[in-house]
Amino acid sequence: MEERLILDLEKWLKELAPPLQGYKHDDLHLRNNIPVDEPKNAHAHLQAVLLGNYVIVPFKDGKLQIGQYQDVILVELDGPKQRNIVISIQS
């Protein structure tokens, strides 16, 4: 992945859903049954909506079938945190 494109993506996401923007989700004192260490992370949820949470990529002969300038990337928007990913291969 081109490094400068990653920087552009980060800038774009922060412009569309900036942290600490006064989101209702971040009114932690108004929410029930949340952990004491719950972060104000509404911006991360909104940014995730923009990116989506899955990708379907063809696989052939053990290789991803993507274009020369394409990549599959995982983006952490609310961390760092321990994450699990699921990879499903269908034939």
Domains and CATH numbers, the chain: 1-91 (2.60.120.460)
Give dist(CA 41, CA 19) in Å, integer: 8
For residue 50, give every residue at least 6 positions away whose Cβ sits within 8 Å of its Cβ, in sequence order, or none.
13, 16, 17
pLDDT at 50: 96
- The pTM of the full predicted model, rounded to 2 decimals, is 0.84
For the stretch 10-36, pLDDT in tens is 999 999 999 989 999 999 999 999 999
From residue 55, give the alpha-carbon distance in Å to each of 8, 31, 39, 72, 74.
Answer: 21, 32, 27, 8, 10
